[in-house]
């Protein structure tokens, strides 16, 4: 399929469980960066008392560290890829780390739960003359299940001039410099459903080709070739102009607030964690002409956790004043991880995964400044959890505008790897929280999947005021996917699918409204704004189900939406309206979006 084609895939394409029709329809279809010297944080390591946990230590067997002189790098990359290529719900977790220097002739193919990253302060400190590749050969050219993998902090010189990054959800491309182009589709322009790019410079052209939706934040691109349904840009130098819905480009000149994800780096032979600082009205990358602004913490201030450690030990480390570095693997929790001190960092490597075994919340934070949660997966356990992640306690009111909590590349899953249940996945109570790229997924395939088997009524509930979401991917919840109760909330980009497996109309009846909205702003809210939101329905159990609208909000002047779309995938269910009672209905099996450019 070519990017401009409006044809469905050929009949020879295999039938698949996820986004079959969505994928088919996809074929239709400057301010300077804020730079300055790094500052080393001067906080002394916590005082050691008898029985205290140590900071620092080795990173464990699933963190593979290379330097340019390491023999057999390609063979090791191939070994990890062979294990992880099809391992969608297995327990393998890997971080591939490259010391600063130049590497030649590598092709790092990334499978599931694999992260690749450079260990410099700038992507250009670590250059691979070669590729970091995500393709979909494992799935017959269909990239809609290429989840849970990442690339960060590297410079690439692609062999062909263009690097292939054909991903779906939970696959960030952060802090990367591609000295060439970037292709976001699998070989042959098969189906693709992603994705997220931030703090990156692409010297050539980004080619979405068959990608249905994409969000790019605070980056620089040499060009952007096309769009299918929902391409959203904020703070991107070189982005196309605002043209939604044709082409479907939603463009914000800047990002209201952003603070890049913490990352591991080397200072000589010592590991440190760099904490980029907050930017207001951000545009372009944070690196390029010098060392990025922020602070750097020594690894001695982190408890380096290994799989098998108890939640009690993690909480002991936090109570001592240590940060947490979660090395790759699966962690079972019998109590919540309690993050209570301001400016605490919880950073995962290689998709470290937290499983609450007995219905507890996996992670809770206090209503304090500057907490950073990044780079891990929360997998619901078989006993229902009322919540999986809580940002601040109920009723939180403190002002965090100068130093917010950030939640970045924190992904949540209910079912798929086995039975899991959670009433609400994420609750945000603290004001000014920044949610920067999350995929909150009630599984539609895998093990432990069924309307009540992996019951999960709500994806994200925002109670706090002044919360900003940049890059929401929230899918398949039994009721509302996103609920917003706080004032002055803002969202830039939403990708949503309603639950495929609703048994009948009654199962999704919201009072006298047919179907629960994907994104609902509470009637009490008087100020809210959102850009670039898309919701799709594919009611394959009962295709007669009608979804009244994708989005619901009070009709007041301070609540504003820009560039909305709803899609019925192949006629499996239909939308009557886009937002409230506004917008044309979808119809038939043509999988053509219905759009609203501005509301009200």
557 CB neighbour count, 10 Å cutoff: 8
- DSSP β-ladder status, 220-224 and 201-207: parallel
Which of 229, 227, 230, 175 shows the shortest CA–CA distance to 206?
A: 227
Asked if 131 and 156 count as a contact pair (C-beta separation under 8 A), the reply is yes
Which SS3 state, helix, strand or coil, does residue 127 take? Answer: strand
CA distance 132 to 110: 7
Three-state secondary structure along 454-504? CCCCEEEEECCCCCEEEEEEEECCCCCCEEECCCCEEEEEEEEECCCCCCC
CA distances from 405 to 48, 364, 400, 549, 579 (A): 28, 12, 8, 32, 30
Tokens of 6: 């409006």
Cβ contacts of 511 within 8 Å, gap of 6 or more: none
CA angle 257, 262, 264 (to 5 degrees): 160
DSSP 516: -
106 CB-contact burial (10 Å; exposed 0-12 / middle 13-18 / buried 19+): middle
Q: 594 to each of 355, 475, 548, 553, 576, how far by Cα in Å?
A: 39, 19, 13, 18, 10
Q: Supply the Cα-derived Rg of the chain in whole angstroms.
A: 22
Residue 228 near residue 193, CB atoms below 8 Å: no
Q: Rounded to an integer, what distance in angstroms lies between the CA atom of residue 69 and that of residue 8?
A: 48
Is 497 a residue of the active site? yes
- Single out the residue of 332, 331, 335, 309 nearest to residue 322, CA to CA: 309
Q: How far apart are CA 107 and CA 80, in angstroms?
A: 12
- Gap between the Cα atoms of 291 and 470, Å rounded: 25
Best CA proximity match to 64, nearest among 270, 317, 328: 328
C-alpha 375/C-alpha 437 separation (Å) is: 10
Q: What is the H or E stretch that residue 73 is in?
A: helix 73-84
Marked catalytic residue, from 260, 497, 529, 576: 497
Instruction: Give the Å distances, CA to CA, from 573 to 23, 135, 170, 347, 566.
Output: 17, 31, 27, 40, 12
Place of tokens 């979401």: 469
Q: Are 358 and 384 contacting, i.e. CB atoms less than 8 angstroms apart?
A: no
Query: Helix or strand or coil: residue 557?
Result: coil
Q: How far apart are CA 126 and CA 376, in angstroms?
A: 24
Give the closest residue to 431 by CA, choosing from 375, 460, 391, 390.
391
Residues belonging to the active site: 497
């Amino acid at each position: 399929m070519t990017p401009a084609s409006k044809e469905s895939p050929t009949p020879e394409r295999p039938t698949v469980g996820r986004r079959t029709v969505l994928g088919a329809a996809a074929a239709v279809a400057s301010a300077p960066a804020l730079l300055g010297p790094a500052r080393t944080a001067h906080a002394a390591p916590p005082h050691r008392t008898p029985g205290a946990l140590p900071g620092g230590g080795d990173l464990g067997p699933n963190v593979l560290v290379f330097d340019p002189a390491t023999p057999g790098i390609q063979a090791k990359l191939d070994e990890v890829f062979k294990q992880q290529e099809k391992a969608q719900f297995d327990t393998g977790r890997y971080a591939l780390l490259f010391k600063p220097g130049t590497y030649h002739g590598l092709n790092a193919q990334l499978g599931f739960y694999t992260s690749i990253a450079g260990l410099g302060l700038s992507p250009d400190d670590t250059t691979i003359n070669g590729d970091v590749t995500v393709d979909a050969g494992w799935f017959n050219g269909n990239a809609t299940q290429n989840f849970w993998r990442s690339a960060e902090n590297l410079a690439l010189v692609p062999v062909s001039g263009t690097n292939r990054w054909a991903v779906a959800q939970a696959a960030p491309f952060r802090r990367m410099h591609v000295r060439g182009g970037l292709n976001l589709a699998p070989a042959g322009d098969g189906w693709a459903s992603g994705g997220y790019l931030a703090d990156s410079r692409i010297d050539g052209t980004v080619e979405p080709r068959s990608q249905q939706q994409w969000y790019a934040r605070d980056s620089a691109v040499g060009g952007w070739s096309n769009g299918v349904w929902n391409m959203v840009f904020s703070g991107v130098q070189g982005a196309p102009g605002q043209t939604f819905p044709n082409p479907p480009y939603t463009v914000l000149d800047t990002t209201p607030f952003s603070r890049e994800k913490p990352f591991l780096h080397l200072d000589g032979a010592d590991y440190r964690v760099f904490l980029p600082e907050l930017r207001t009205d951000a545009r372009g990358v944070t690196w390029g002409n010098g060392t990025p602004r922020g602070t750097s913490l020594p690894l001695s201030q982190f408890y380096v956790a290994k799989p098998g450690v108890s939640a009690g030990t993690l909480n002991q480390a936090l109570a001592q004043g240590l940060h947490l570095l979660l090395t790759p693997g699966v962690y079972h929790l019998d109590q919540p991880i309690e993050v209570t001190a301001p400016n605490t960092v919880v950073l995962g490597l290689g998709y470290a995964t937290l499983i609450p075994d007995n219905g507890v919340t996996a992670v809770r934070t206090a209503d304090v400044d500057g907490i950073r949660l990044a780079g891990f997966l929360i997998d619901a356990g078989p006993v229902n959890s009322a919540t999986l992640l809580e940002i601040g306690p109920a009723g939180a009111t403190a002002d965090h505008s100068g130093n917010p909590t950030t939640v970045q590349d924190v992904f949540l899953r209910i079912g798929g790897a086995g039975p899991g249940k959670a009433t609400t996945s994420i609750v945000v109570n603290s004001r000014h929280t920044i949610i920067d790229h999350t995929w909150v997924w009630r599984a539609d395939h895998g093990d432990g999947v069924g309307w009540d088997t992996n019951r999960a009524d709500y994806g994200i509930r925002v109670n706090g005021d002044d919360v900003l979401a940049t890059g929401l991917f929230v899918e398949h919840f039994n009721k509302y996917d996103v609920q917003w109760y706080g004032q002055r909330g803002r969202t830039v980009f939403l990708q949503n699918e309603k639950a495929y497996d609703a048994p009948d109309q009654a199962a999704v009846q919201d009072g006298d409204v047919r179907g629960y909205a994907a994104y609902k702003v509470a009637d009490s809210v008087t100020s809210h704004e959102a850009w670039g939101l898309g919701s799709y329905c594919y009611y394959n159990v009962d295709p007669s189900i009608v979804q009244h609208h994708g989005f619901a909000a009070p009709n007041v002047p301070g609540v504003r939406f820009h560039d909305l779309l709803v899609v019925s995938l192949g006629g499996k269910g239909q939308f009557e309206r886009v937002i409230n009672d506004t917008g044309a209905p979808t119809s038939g099996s043509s999988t053509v979006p219905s759009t609203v450019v501005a509301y009200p």
